[in-house]
Amino acid sequence: MAFAQDLPTASPSPTPEPTRSPSAARNVRLSFVPPPAEGTISLGIFDAEGKLVRILHREAKIENFTVDADSLKTTWNGKNDAGEDLPAGKYRARGYLAEDHLNVNDLGKATEPPVDASDHLMINLEMNPLESDTRSVVDIAVGFDAHGSFLRTTDGLPLRTISGTPNVVRASITKNGERSADVWLDNGVAVEQFRVSDIDKMMAFDCGDFELK
């Protein structure tokens, strides 16, 4: 007599839970109190040696951040400007607010820049009253790329657009009084002169150190 056998039934395979991508898992939340002035914000990520590794915000408006009751918030995904994951370790976020009073005027075609023109100059900035230890002096240079030219810190953080003229091959800057500077841009065919007025109308701020996992 044959007996029916209870055959084991296959249990359904568990559905794998979605996993976060390495980039999503490395998101770092940054929060800072903005300087008390109207303007645009440039924020950079610097490694433990002080090298700029990511331009996180460039001439950003307040609405580009998450606005909290008393601070602005943003996130960094742990990547550099080339989209590559950076190693775990200590980093620092700091930046500048360029006030709306800082203006750039096109003075038109010019001859060669004066002999005392340089590739950078030191500017005494307005002190940020919210951060008494923030640096009030910054070393300013002129940067340029395929999209135009801009004021930047000498460590590479863009601060304010000068011109959208492409193909600049040489730039120089010199002070014009205590609160303005003249910039010369050479594209190999002609030289243009620009005047940056109220160049001191910037405030530095610091988000502090943090760990990237």
The CATH number assigned to the domain holding 35 equals 2.60.40.4070
Domain assignment present for residue 201? The answer is yes
pTM, to two decimals: 0.85
Distance CA 106, CA 87 (A): 43
Domain assignment present for residue 60? The answer is yes
| SS3 letters across 59-101 | EECHHHCEECCCCEEEEECCECCCCCECCCEEEEEEEEEEECC
Distance CA 98, CA 3 (A): 87
Distance CA 69, CA 28 (A): 20
Residue range of the domain that includes 183 = 23-212
DSSP 157-204: -EEEEEE------EEEEEE-SSSEEEEEEE-SS-EEEEEEESTT-EEE
Domain assignment present for residue 73? The answer is yes
Q: What is the residue whose two structure tokens read 């960094």?
A: 76
Q: Is 44 helix (H, G, I), strand (E, B) or coil?
A: strand
Domain assignment present for residue 15? The answer is no
Domain assignment present for residue 9? The answer is no
Domain assignment present for residue 6? The answer is no
The helix (H) or strand (E) run that includes residue 24 is helix 22-25
Domain assignment present for residue 171? The answer is yes
Amino acid 133: pLDDT: 61
Domain assignment present for residue 121? The answer is yes
- The overall longest dimension of the chain from CA atoms, in Å, is 112
Distance CA 159, CA 204 (A): 11
> Euclidean distance between the first and final Cα of the chain, in Å?
67
Amino acid 161: pLDDT: 97
In the chain, which stretches have pLDDT less than 70? 1-25, 132-135
Count the domains in the chain: 1
